[in-house]
Amino acid sequence: MKLDNMFKKTRLPKRKGAAAADTSGPEVPEGLLRKCNMCKAAIIAEDVKKGDYICPKCGGYFRMHAYKRIRSVADEGTFEEWDRGLTTRNPLQFKGYEEKLTSLQEKTGLDEAVTAGRARIGGEETALAVCDGRFLMASMGEVVGEKITRAVERATKEELPLIIFTCSGGARMQEGIVSLMQMAKTSAALKRHSDAGLLYITVLTDPTTGGVTASFAMLGDIILAEPGALIGFAGPRVITQTIGQKLPKGFQRSEFLLEHGFIDAIMERPQMKEVLSRLLSFHKNERSDTQKAQKLTNGIRQGLKIPPEMDQAKAWDRVLASRKKDRPVGRDYIGSLFTDFTEFHGDRYYGDDQAVIGGIAYFRGMPVTVIAQEKGRDTKENIQRNFGMPSPDGYRKALRLMRQAEKFHRPVICFVDTPGAFCGVEAEERGQGEAIARNLYEMSALKTPILSIVIGEGGSGGALAMAVADEVWMMENSIYSILSPEGFASILWRDSGKAKEAAEVMKLTAGDLYALGVVERVLAEPEELTAQEICSVTDPLADQIGEFLERYGDMDAEALVQHRYDRFRKM
């Protein structure tokens, strides 16, 4: 049965003067509801305000005003503003520019597109600058450049870390070439801040484009981004017009940048304050212990024995053990040995190789940089992580993190577990050989202790690129060799089926390599080593790492580098 227009409706006598405006009708007061620019839904303004300016319907991010942003991350009442009231000279004598600025100042209550100062975040002192898109799309004129530069300089002088929340349409057209020069000026100041060993974090918010991306936004030691933010040099509209092509979905969004290796992590607003405070606390300068007396223990190999049962297993059995499916992988070691591991992504050139994971963590309360070749725990992860075969991007990410460790005087601990560097067209196109060579070159002189531990397969150059270390240790059932036994057999005997025989002659077991003086320690394993029982090896390993850090942490940089040089010089 269809009920369309079947029922009689309420029929009311026409109200007198019904046309006259009925003032008692319902009305949404100004500001009660607002529209989400992303999902177009009407939403209650108060929900947006209370919910970190995130749309409760679609989860999209609203742009945040500078002072609201400061309130959301800084400890209450700790923000002290610097350089408020700087004004532009209107260098091009651009007509109507000053009037425009005055009207914006009145409308927004801001003096310019950036607000800078000092604040505490989770109790940690920091310099803080925040761009505000309401002011000429936070384009960078001389005042923005000057305020940023002054904040950087003051942070350098006062030995403060610096956090900048970026948002900008790019250069300010009304200030022409003077605007362009701000890019160089801010970058130069940041170089000095960095040379002073100070931490710089950028948080990229929607939109960060043009001259700001091509200067201070991309220079952070750590670069975070809000989800879905537009980040790029040339804006998407300009690109479309230039190349006459439709751009892919998600192009130049935070997620795209993460995938392409340009940001360390995407951070949701509700976690922002906590993460910033953690990063600041992690980088707190405690230089007191770096000046400790130089005491180099020469007995690097003293008192260490190969586990007695070492020689009984055949080399081929070790090869099989090192490749076992349920053998613990890099992440298992990280989880068991360190606390507060914070992963950083990307090589800042091309991509974020999933075969290498790295970041910062605490080892018994001491900040360290941890890098691991990661095979993954199941087939799905194996594929995602390319079975632990790094691409050039993976080695470049590792090197970037090692340089960061050097800057902040953090020891580096590497976990080696790879069948070899990825063998493929793309890898060659991006310079696999160059990437490996660069790591050997740079690691040899890195002014911070490096410990590499082979936990599974140590496949050739792909392994060595993460093992130019002060000491290299091996798990009892790991292997380390010039190439896989299969490859060895196929090159030498033209028969990869003879891998078993190859393994026996290659001297690739931990015991063999210890005897050859290629590694310093062999770490005993239980009969069956699985991720569940990783503590049986990581508990004693942690003590040995502690001892390593104590020994090398006390060395001065010159001695350390010389020691590493000598280590390889004699091979």
Partner 1 sequence: MIKKVLIANRGEIAVRIIRACREMGIETVAVYSQADKEALHTKLADEAVCIGPAPSKESYLSMERIISATVVTGADAIHPGFGFLSENSRFAQLCQQCSITFIGPDADVIARLGNKQEARNTMAAAGVPVIPGSEEAIYDAQTGLEAARAIGYPVIVKAALGGGGKGMRTAYTEEEFIQSFQTAQQEAEKAFGDGTMYIEHFVENPRHIEFQILADSFGHVIHLGERDCSIQRNHQKMIEESPSLALTDELREEMGQAAVRAAKAAGYVNAGTIEFLLEASGRYYFMEMNTRIQVEHPVTEWVTGIDLVKEQIRIASGKKLSYEQEDVHLSGHAIECRINAEDPKKDFRPSPGTITDMYLPGGKGIRIDSAIYSGYTIPPYYDSMVAKLIVWAKNRGEAINKMQSALGEVIIEGIDTNVDYQYEILNHPDYRSGNVDIGFIEKMQRCMV
Residues at the site binding partner 1, with contacts judged by CB under 8 A? 1-4, 6-7, 9-10, 12, 22, 24-29, 32-33, 41-44
CA separation for the pair 201, 229 (Å, rounded): 17
For residue 329, the 8-state DSSP code is: -
Q: Which is nearer to partner 1, 45 or 180 (CB)?
A: 45
The answer to whether 138 and 165 have CB atoms below 8 angstroms apart is no
Q: Which is nearer to partner 1, 32 or 515 (CB)?
A: 32
295: alpha, beta or left? (left if phi > 0; alpha if psi -120 to 50): beta
CA separation for the pair 556, 368 (Å, rounded): 17
SS3 79: coil
Dihedral pair phi/psi, residue 328, rounded to 5° = -60, 145
Q: Which is nearer to partner 1, 47 or 98 (CB)?
A: 47
Q: Which residues contact 221 (CB under 8 A, 6 or more apart)?
A: 194, 199, 200, 201, 404, 407, 408
CA separation for the pair 410, 139 (Å, rounded): 37
Cis peptide before 248 (omega within 30 of 0): no
SS3 27: coil
Residue found by looking up tokens 């082979």 in the block: 454
Q: Which is nearer to partner 1, 16 or 237 (CB)?
A: 16
For residue 226, give the nearest of 266, 169, 276 by alpha carbon: 266
Q: Which is nearer to partner 1, 42 or 559 (CB)?
A: 42
CA separation for the pair 102, 89 (Å, rounded): 13
* Least distance between partner 1 and beta carbon 11 (Å): 9
* Least distance between partner 1 and beta carbon 54 (Å): 16
Residue found by looking up tokens 């989800």 in the block: 227
CA separation for the pair 548, 561 (Å, rounded): 15
Q: Which is nearer to partner 1, 49 or 89 (CB)?
A: 49
* Least distance between partner 1 and beta carbon 32 (Å): 6
Q: Which is nearer to partner 1, 14 or 287 (CB)?
A: 14
Helix (H) or strand (E) segment spanning residue 191: helix 176-195
The answer to whether 361 and 391 have CB atoms below 8 angstroms apart is no
* Least distance between partner 1 and beta carbon 7 (Å): 5
* Least distance between partner 1 and beta carbon 340 (Å): 24
Q: Calculate the dihedral angle through the C-alpha atoms of 326, 329, 331, 335, rounding to the nearest 10 degrees.
A: 70
Q: Which is nearer to partner 1, 38 or 137 (CB)?
A: 38
CA separation for the pair 183, 213 (Å, rounded): 9
Quick one: tokens of 275?
A: 């993460």
Q: How many CB atoms lie within 10 A of CB 367?
A: 19
CA separation for the pair 286, 295 (Å, rounded): 20
* Least distance between partner 1 and beta carbon 269 (Å): 22
Helical axes 330-337 vs 535-553, angle rounded to 10°: 70
CA separation for the pair 215, 481 (Å, rounded): 43
Q: Which is nearer to partner 1, 43 or 499 (CB)?
A: 43
**Residue 232: C-alpha distances to residues 113, 170, 460 (Å):** 19, 10, 38
* Least distance between partner 1 and beta carbon 227 (Å): 22
| Helices within 13-157 (DSSP H only) | 45-50, 66-73, 97-108, 142-157
Q: Which is nearer to partner 1, 26 or 85 (CB)?
A: 26
* Least distance between partner 1 and beta carbon 50 (Å): 12
Q: Calculate the dihedral angle through the C-alpha atoms of 471, 474, 480, 485, rounding to the nearest 10 degrees.
A: 170
Q: Which is nearer to partner 1, 6 or 571 (CB)?
A: 6
* Least distance between partner 1 and beta carbon 339 (Å): 22
* Least distance between partner 1 and beta carbon 51 (Å): 14
Q: Which is nearer to partner 1, 41 or 296 (CB)?
A: 41
542 residue type, one letter: A
Q: Which is nearer to partner 1, 56 or 236 (CB)?
A: 56
CA within 13 Å, CB half, 330: 32
* Least distance between partner 1 and beta carbon 43 (Å): 6
CA separation for the pair 74, 123 (Å, rounded): 9
* Least distance between partner 1 and beta carbon 34 (Å): 10
* Least distance between partner 1 and beta carbon 30 (Å): 11
* Least distance between partner 1 and beta carbon 21 (Å): 11
Q: Which is nearer to partner 1, 42 or 515 (CB)?
A: 42
